[in-house]
Amino acid sequence: MLASSVTATPTALTWRLLPAALVSASAVLLFGVQVPVAGYGVLVFGLLLAWFIDRPLFRDLLLIASGLGIISTISLEANIDYPNMVLFGVVLSAAVAVPFLIQRYVYRERVIRFPWKGTWPWTKAQWWYLAVVVVAAVVLLPFYFIGSGSYQNWPAVHEPDAVARLFVGVNAVGIWDELFFICTVFTLLCRHFPVWLANLLQATIFVSFLWELGYQSWGPLLTIPFALVQGAIFRMTRSLSYVVTVHLLFDLVVFIVIVAAHNPDWFSG
Look at residue 269 in the predicted model and tell me its pLDDT: 61
> Which tens digits make up the pLDDT trace of 120-151?
788 999 999 999 999 999 999 999 999 999 99
Mean pLDDT across the stretch 209-223?
A: 96
Under the banding of pLDDT at 50, 70 and 90, the label for residue 267 is confident
> Which tens digits make up the pLDDT trace of 183-199?
999 999 999 999 999 99
Q: What is the pTM of this model?
A: 0.93
Mean pLDDT across the stretch 211-217?
A: 96
Cα torsion 246, 148, 91, 81: sign:
positive
Distance between start and end Cα atoms, the chain: 69
Residue 209 has pLDDT above 50, yes or no: yes
Look at residue 268 in the predicted model and tell me its pLDDT: 73
- Cα 67 → chain centroid: 11
Mean pLDDT across the stretch 30-58?
A: 97
Mean pLDDT of the chain: 94
Mean pLDDT across the stretch 222-251?
A: 96
> Which among 141, 110, 167 is positioned nearest to 226, based on CA atoms?
141
